[in-house]
Structures are given as structure tokens and as C-alpha cells.
Chain A
Amino acid sequence: MESSESYGANMSNSGTSQADFNALVLRHKAMIWHICSDYNIGKAWKTEDCMQEVLISLWKSFGTFEGRSSEKTWVWRVATNTMLMLRRKDVRTLQTEPLETVDTEEKNEEPSNESYQQLQQLIDALPEESGTTIRAFLDGFSYKEIADMTGSSVGAVAMRITRIKRKLKQMYEKENNTIL
């Protein structure tokens, strides 16, 4: 049953696989944290809670990862799906705050972080599938990797990304009331 490529861990993980898992988390810590904060712009307090949820999902799936995709892609996919699931639960159970009143208590902010956050908020306003595709692109995945993740062709991904970027640019310009 166990693939030679798998980590060989399951729900009763041994000490060795726990060490493997800890190493995996440390290898991808910045990416996981980034995904959690990316879905919680202006809600820094929520990032750690989401991080824990993502870690639960990763741990539960850890033993079944067989290396069919790269480790980075797999971690990104599990983390993103967990965030989408949490977001849908949030929508079902909580009233969302309007963007204008969102708490922006980020630490170490540079002056232009406002624009950086604005882009994140615009991505949030896109349909879920577009948001996920563009996040994958901005997080450094190649067209080929995104095509593998989404079951599309490389050409279709390239076209989709161009279209989404154009749309974001229009949204950004509209919000800022300027024409480039």
C-alpha cells in the first residue's frame, strides 16, 4: 500500500515522521504563513489561528503525500484549500467587516504597504478560482505548475493570468481614480 515515494506516515505517526513533518513545516514556513496572512489582510490576529488549521490539514494528509507533485506545490495546495474552506465557513457564520473599517495594525509597515495591501484586497474581491490562480502565479509558481494544479493547459493558464492581471489593473485604477 505504501509508495516508496511517500513519507510513510499515517495518523499514528512515529517519531521519525514527526521529525520529517517538523522539517517540512520549517522548510515551507514562510510560504504557509504568507498564505494564512494573505487570506486575512488587515486581520493579523487571525493569521495564527489559520496557521494552526493549515498545520492540522497538512499533518492529516502528510502520510498520503506520494510525491506526484512537488512538495512545495502540495503544501501550497493543502494550505490554500484549507484557507478557502475556512473562508467559506466564515461567510456562513460571521458577518464580514467592510474594508474601510478593517483593522490594519500591521507591524513594520513601509509607506507603500498600503498599496501592497490594496492589491491583496482586490485579489480577495475576485471570484475564488481567479484569486487562487493569480495567488499561485504571484507566489512564484510557473505556468506549468499552475496548469498541473488546475488541470488546465499551459496556454489556458497564461491567458487566464493575463486576463486576471488586466482586470486587477482596471480595478486598481478605478479605486485610485487614475489612468495609467
Chain B
Amino acid sequence: MDTNNNNTMDPKRYDDFQTIWKRRKQDWQEQAEKTLPDDAALLHLVELAQQQAQQHEAVDIPITRRRKHWIPYAAAASLVVGVAAIGLTRQGQPENGLPVTEEVTVEDQTVHFVCNNGCSVQDIMLMANKVIK
């Protein structure tokens, strides 16, 4: 941790590690603001994102009849979502078991849940389908 011994410091180098580290910690906001779009451009991006988001909303996963006979719906729901979460965690997402869902309901042989952490619907479906089939 000692950074005071700079006898052999490369004269060509602009910063030592400690300086860059400190600057990264203190100045990231200032750095971001240098290239950040203005509010109007940002809100335009928000508008585009909202339009795109409506194309796919919550995730619905059908439970097969076979599965229904083996375990109750509520258990199936937690199994599907739980294993989907484990699968995603193994792939590195979400980080360290952050919650995947905020809400799980089961209706008409369908597990319905809402992803709350930026996982793609496709990724969750992929994992969940592996569990169901």
C-alpha cells in the first residue's frame, strides 16, 4: 500500500496509480458531464426507450400439465424463478444473487413475473425453459 517510495518512478509516466485511483473516485461525475447529452436529447432517448419497451413487457412462462401434477403451482413458480435466478447468477448476472423478480403470480397454468434488474426477457425465458422441460 505504500506509495511513497518513488525513487524508480518512470519519468515518462504522467500519473502514479494512487493519483489515478483518487481521480477516478472523485472526478467520474465531472468526466461524465463532459460528454453527456443535453436534457432535451436525453429525454428524446427516454421517449425512444419507452416506445421500445412496450414491445416486450412482463414474462409469462407456461407450466406444463405434467409439472402441475408433480408440484403445486406456487412451488412451481418459486422453482422456475429460483432456478432461473441461479442460472443467471452462474452466468454472472445478476451479480451475487441480487433479486431477479419483484413479483410472482401464477394464473391459468402460467407463471408471471416481472424482472427488476435489467435481465433480458430472453435470458430468463431460456433459463426457465430449461427447468420446465
Residues of A within 8 A of B (CB): 1, 11, 13, 18, 21-22, 25-26, 29-31, 33-34, 37-38, 44, 47-48, 51-61, 63-66, 77-82, 84-85, 88, 106-108, 111-112, 114-116, 118-120, 128-129, 132, 137-140, 149-152, 165-166, 168-169, 172-173, 176-180
A94 and B17 CA atoms in complex are apart in Å by: 32
B24 on interface, CB distance cutoff 8 Å:
yes
Q: Specify which chain B residues have a CB less than 8 angstroms from the CB of A166 in the assembled complex.
A: 1
What is the CB-to-nearest-CB distance from B18 to chain A, in angstroms, rounded to a whole number? 8
Closest to B105 in A: A1
- Check A56–B36 contact: CB distance below 8 A: no
- Check B118–A57 contact: CB distance below 8 A: yes
Q: Specify which chain A residues have a CB less than 8 angstroms from the CB of B37 in the assembled complex.
A: 33, 48
Choose from A79, A139, A176 the contact partner of B13 (Cβ within 8 Å).
Answer: A176
A29 and B58 CA atoms in complex are apart in Å by: 26
Q: Specify which chain B residues have a CB less than 8 angstroms from the CB of A140 in the assembled complex.
A: 25, 28
- Check B24–A11 contact: CB distance below 8 A: no
Q: Specify which chain B residues have a CB less than 8 angstroms from the CB of A168 in the assembled complex.
A: 17, 21
A107 and B36 CA atoms in complex are apart in Å by: 11
Q: Specify which chain B residues have a CB less than 8 angstroms from the CB of A85 in the assembled complex.
A: 93, 118-120, 123
**B1-48 with Cβ < 8 A to chain A:** 1, 3, 5-6, 8-10, 13-18, 20-21, 23-25, 28-29, 31-37, 39, 42-43, 45-46, 48
Choose from B32, B46, B50, B91 the contact partner of A34 (Cβ within 8 Å).
Answer: B32
Among the stretches B60-68, B76-84, B96-104, the one at the interface with A is: B96-104
Choose from B31, B39, B96, B115 the contact partner of A129 (Cβ within 8 Å).
Answer: B96
B117 on interface, CB distance cutoff 8 Å:
yes
- Check B17–A64 contact: CB distance below 8 A: no
How many interface residues does B have (CB within 8 Å)? 58
Which interface residue of A18, A57, A85, A173 has the most chain B CB atoms within 10 A?
A85
Which interface residue of A56, A63, A78, A168 has the most chain B CB atoms within 10 A?
A56
Residues of B within 8 A of A (CB): 1, 3, 5-6, 8-10, 13-18, 20-21, 23-25, 28-29, 31-37, 39, 42-43, 45-46, 48-50, 52-54, 57-58, 91-98, 102-103, 114-120, 123
Closest to B35 in A: A107
* Contact A30:B32 (CB < 8 A) given known A55-B45, A114-B14, A116-B20: yes
- Check B25–A37 contact: CB distance below 8 A: no
Closest to B43 in A: A22
Closest to B93 in A: A84
A82 and B21 CA atoms in complex are apart in Å by: 25
Choose from B13, B48, B57, B102 the contact partner of A178 (Cβ within 8 Å).
Answer: B13
- Check B14–A115 contact: CB distance below 8 A: yes
Which 6 pairs from chain A and chain B are nearest by CB? Answer: A55-B49, A81-B118, A34-B32, A57-B118, A64-B102, A82-B118
